[in-house]
Structure 1
Amino acid sequence: MSLRHLNQIDLADRWNISHRTLERWRWTGEGPRFVKLGGRVVYRLEDVEAFERAQMRASTADKPAMKFA
């Protein structure tokens, strides 16, 4: 079993957002869980996919299924 990790640039590209948004989310406790090894930040693919599943909505009135901190 191999673990796959995404760095902040890879995840920003995946979601078509700024890498600065991911930095802000880490600061405020939003977004997917991350791993910090020394000065390097990576996101486990399984955590990214779990976060994406939690963001699924049937309508704009739906609440998030889970909050990540």
Structure 2
Amino acid sequence: MDRPESKPASRYLTNEEAAAYLKLSPHTLNKKRVIGGGPKFRKLGSRVVYAIDDLETWIEARACNTTSDPRYAQAR
């Protein structure tokens, strides 16, 4: 009997864990959450969490081919 394919539940990371995953400081990730330009996040009560899938999507959206790519300047 075939098992239905189910997507595994996304793992959520705290701000500190997400910052380490992205190799950013927690302060930088906090700042991006306030002013914009950071990865999607979720607010669970007083906690902020990030799905690994959202972090990966944010990383991929920042891919650049050359230093003259406009996204290169935005990624800094």
> 5 Å matches for 1:35-46?
35-46=42-53
Alpha-carbon distance, 1:29 to partner: 1.4
Which structure is larger by alpha-carbon Rg, 1 or 2? 2
Query: Unaligned regions of 5+ residues in structure 2, if any?
Result: 1-7, 72-76
Q: Secondary structure at the match of 2:16?
A: helix
Deviations 1:9-45 (A, max 9, x none): 1111122221011111111012101001111000111
CA distance in 2, matches of 1:47, 1:16: 15
Indicate the residue corresponding to 1:53 in structure 2.
60
Greater displacement, 2-11 / 49-58: 2-11
Moved runs in structure 1, 4+ residues, more than 2 A? none
Q: CA RMSD in A?
A: 1.1
Alpha-carbon distance, 1:49 to partner: 0.6
* Identity percentage of aligned residues: 36
Query: Unaligned regions of 5+ residues in structure 1, if any?
Result: 65-69
Indicate the residue corresponding to 2:3 in structure 1.
none
